[in-house]
Amino acid sequence: MFLTVHSTLGVVIGGYLPNPFTAFLVGLISHYVFDIIPHGDEVKLGKLSLAGMAWAAIIDQAILLLNFMLLAYFKTADVFTPIVIAAVIGAILPDWLMAIHRLSEEWDNRFARALHRLIDPLQNFHYYLHVNLLPYEIPFSLGLILQIIFLAGMWIVI
């Protein structure tokens, strides 16, 4: 699922939790739970080259930032408390780890290999939830509509 959706869910979650630690943890869990829902970008994005993936990631982060600026403008900048920021970091962490996992595959040094091995079990878990747990593929376009509906729902709640 796109980072924009995960991060906005982090904003929702952070609003209900008492401290940054639980916010981070629940944000993290929310990422895995939402990735279980078939959302159309699992296979398509998985097939991209490294450069293609980098572009997709840059666009994803840019839309995330734009979405946050719009939230601050149309809602209130006060939503971004330290607790909310902790929840957002938890909610987007698995995809950052996925990127580091993928990149560390390309680097040929001891640090990169250690890093890759360290992230491996988490990334396998992430991939399993994403692709194998509910192995129903929906078209990318339908997934996009679904994710926009999720995003709109979250905007209403915030």
60 binds Zn ion (CB under 5 A): no
Query: Would you give the binding string for Zn ion spanning residues 70-109, x where CB under 5 A is met?
Result: ------------------------xx--------------
Q: According to CB under 5 A, which one of 5, 23, 35, 129 is a site residue for Zn ion?
A: 35
**Least distance to Zn ion, CB of residue 88, Å:** 14
**Least distance to Zn ion, CB of residue 126, Å:** 6
Task: Report the distance separating Cα 41 and Cα 34, nearest Å.
Answer: 13
41 binds Zn ion (CB under 5 A): no
**Least distance to Zn ion, CB of residue 108, Å:** 26
Task: Report the distance separating Cα 140 and Cα 150, nearest Å.
Answer: 15
Give 44 or 75: the residue with its C-beta nearer to Zn ion: 44
Task: Report the distance separating Cα 24 and Cα 27, nearest Å.
Answer: 5
**Least distance to Zn ion, CB of residue 56, Å:** 13
Q: Both tokens of residue 56?
A: 């997709």
59, 48 contact by CB (below 8 A)? no
